[in-house]
Structure 1
Amino acid sequence: MKLTRILAGSAAALIAATGLVACNDSAEEDAATGADTSFDGPIRIGTTDANLREWDVFQDLAEEEGIDVEIVTFADYNTPNDALAQDQLDVNKFQHLQFLSNYNVGAGQDLEAFSATEIYPLALFWQDHDSLDGIEGERVAIPNDATNQGRAINVLVQAGLVTLREEGLLDPSPADIDTEASEVEVTPVDAAQATLAYNEGTPAVINNSFLERAGIDPNSAIFQDDPSTEQAEQYINVWVTTPELADNEELQQLAELWKDPAVEEAVLESSGGTAVPVDLTDEELADIQQRLEERAAE
């Protein structure tokens, strides 16, 4: 029998129904004295995609290592950080560095990234087309949320379809686009609506998480951004915890289990072959996070 279990439902209902509590007293005392924090109960991991096969593989590996974990799944992207900040979780894994940095600045929190996992390229799709040929003059749907809009615009910049008034912007907005010099017109839409635009024949930049549910083959993209560029480093996915637990040995061990070849193979499969593993030190992640938070605070 597995030592893990998945809790489902909306985030708000989940917290109220399960009565999640803060870390045990001995753990808090260890944190206060600077000692390595231990867990008397299961390590509570928050995520938004517990249905993906990699989590099953990960849980099996954790069980083999004798680590008791509890996967807590959330229905939205904002609540897992709140739950972590309120000691209702021990760690979460669902976000990239930019999302974390924006959250910390907006909420006045100090959550820390401590292990890089993977990066998912953001891609442009166009129904019944396999190249950019003929796209000039088209409207292109892009996600309108603060986390993905700038990246989507830069996808079009890298594709040579959009020109910015100022080169090199890491997080441009539609107002930064030189419309007269651009080959296409950008139409921001709710991220979930980008697939609808695609199905209506409109070229669309679509988040990886919406592709499977919309039945879109990730390999049918006509263009995607380059995950090795400086522009992409803010979109590296990470494990996140509180400053008190950032050096915890058990959490570090769990993060290493995510790098196991069996987990990486499952991640690659569930992403349609698009996920790119990232290997950065915690110090490198901290430097990127600091730069992003400084920029978000401007």
Structure 2
Amino acid sequence: MSTTPDSPTPSGITALPARPGRDRGPTRWIVLAVVAVVAVAGILFATLRGGDEPAAAADRVTVKVGTTEASADYWPILVDLAARENIDIQLVNFTDYTQADPALSQGQIDLNLFQHLLFLANYNVANSDTLTPIGATVVVPLGVYSGKHTDLAQIPAGGQVAIPNDATNQARALLVLQQAGLISLTGGGDPLSTPADIDAAASKVTVTPVDAAQTVASLPSVDAAVINNNFALDADLDPSKALYNDDPAAPAAEPYINAFVARADQKDNPTFLRIAQLYHDPSVTAAVVAASKDTAVIVDRPAADLGTILAGLETVVRDAS
């Protein structure tokens, strides 16, 4: 441990020569006492001022988190909370949903937050991977919107409804339409249902799968469209004007719980778990709910529960394959 430059050390003090005929004893002991006090003070000052700084710097960790919504309002709040605990979150934004899981698996990032459990189940099964949810975040509703009608009952028999064409959102959209009483699915449907599972004779409408990003644009040409919450908000659609929403708090919504995801060998990493906990700070969740126009439902489920749900979904996906 070193002292600061302006702190005197014992070697920096020189005793004056004794005057002839005077007793040097008391003076000598006083000087030595001063030397000791100054030395101790210098050491303490150096410790208090600079001794902790290298340790604090050494304790800081950087965590790369992949997301598809780095511009979301809650991220600056979460990043600041983590920084106060010596965790530097570095956001890595992906524009394609298919990129963030391979990046995590390959170690390019440490965590990701963009997907629900069903999406993760499909990825793990398709890629023989073991990515693991470590903290729940939110479930957002999936709504039925219309530019022509203000009530479900106004949709005519034989009407046309656009739905997202990607596997996980398509199945959820079909379940939403069934809950709304617009279609009937053979066997009641499941998280992997496709348009081929529609019982046409028992259904009121037909469905047209389109790219999820085009569901909003399809509104003028169809009777209704099932639109993901992020696309609805981006298009300034009012969620309160949706003709129907599924219930994000219902057990049927479990496959759509969004989560922080890590590699399996890092699922118990205390820093990663702490980031997932900080998401549930009231300042963060308030920003999440506000950005969703009060439609998002915050979910705080133990990682063990998420693992159980994921395992069940992976079994469903494997069996379907």
Please give the range of the TM-score, normalised by the shorter of the 2 chains: 0.7 to 0.9
For residues 206 and 200 of structure 2, what CA distance do their matches in structure 1 show? Answer: 7
Task: Report what 1:13 is aligned to.
Answer: none
> Which secondary structure state, in structure 2, belongs to the residue aligned with residue 42 of structure 1?
strand
TM-fit CA distance, 1:168: 4.6
The residue identity in structure 2 corresponding to 1:207 is N
- Offset of residue 201 of structure 1: 5.2
Q: Determine the C-alpha separation between the residues in 1 that align with 2:75 and 2:195.
A: 37
Q: Which amino acid aligns with 1:280?
A: R
Q: Pick the aligned partner of 2:140 from 117, 120, 134.
A: 120
Amino acid at match of 2:145: F
Unaligned runs of 5+ in 1: 1-37
Q: After TM superposition, give the deviation of residue 39 of structure 1 in Å.
A: 8.4
Which residues in structure 2 correspond to 1:1-298 (within 5 Å)?
A: 41-127=61-147, 129-137=149-157, 138-200=159-221, 202-298=223-319
Q: Give the drift of 1:269.
A: 1.2
| Larger fraction in helix | 2
Partner in structure 2 of residue 28 of structure 1: none
Normalising to structure 1: TM-score of the pair? Answer: 0.84
* Aligned 8 A contact 2:165 2:209 in 1: yes
Runs of at least 5 residues in structure 2 that lack an aligned partner in the other structure: 1-57
Give the percent of matched residue pairs that are identical in Structure 1 and Structure 2: 43
1:112 & 1:159 partners in 2: Cα distance?
A: 33
| Contact 2:148/2:220 (<8 A) preserved | no
Amino acid at match of 1:295: V
Q: Which amino acid aligns with 1:110?
A: T
Superposition deviation, residue 170 in structure 1: 3.4
What's 1:20 paired with?
none
Structure 2 vs 1, CA of residues 261 and 199 (structure 1 numbering), >3 Å: closer, same or farther?
farther
2:220, 2:260 → 1: CA distance? 34
Contact 1:170 1:231 in 2 (8 A): no
Give the residue type in structure 1 aligned to 2:162: A
CA contact (8 A) 1:140 1:203 kept: yes
- Greater CA drift, 164-173 or 106-115: 164-173
SS at match of 2:112: strand
Q: Deviations over 1:184-243 (max 9, x none)?
A: 111111111110111445300001111122221222111011223333110000000011
Listed one character per residue, the Cα deviations across residues 153-197 of structure 1 (whole Å, up to 9, x for unaligned) are 000110111112212533321111111111111111111111011
Whether contact under 8 Å (2:112, 2:262) holds in the other structure is yes
- Displacement of 1:44: 0.6
What SS does structure 2 have at the residue aligned with 1:82? helix
State the secondary structure of the residue aligned to 2:95.
Answer: coil
Aligned 8 A contact 1:46 1:72 in 2:
yes
1:125–1:220 contact (8 Å) kept in structure 2: yes
Output one character per residue of 1:270-290: Cα deviation in whole Å (capped at 9) or x when no partner.
112111011211111111000
Deviations 1:85-129 (A, max 9, x none): 001111111100001110011111110001111001111001253
d(CA) in 2 for partners of 1:245, 1:256: 16
Tell which has more relative contact order, 1 or 2 (C-alpha 8 A, sep 6+): 1
State the match for 1:35 in structure 2. none
Q: Secondary structure in 2 aligned to 1:94? A: strand
CA contact (8 A) 1:112 1:242 kept: yes
Secondary structure of the residue that 1:160 maps to in structure 2? coil
Alpha-carbon RMSD across the aligned residues, in angstroms, is: 1.6
Which deviations, in whole Å up to 9, do the C-alpha atoms of 1:66-88 show, x marking residues without a partner? Answer: 21111111111111111110011
Please list the CA deviations of residues 250-277 of structure 1 after superposition, one character each: whole Å capped at 9, or x if unmatched: 1111101100111111111111211101
Question: What secondary structure, in the 3-state scheme, does the structure 2 residue paired with 1:239 have?
Answer: strand
SS at match of 2:167: coil
8 A contact 2:114–2:258 mirrored in 1:
yes
Distance (whole Å) between structure 2 residues aligned to residue 182 and residue 136 of structure 1:
11
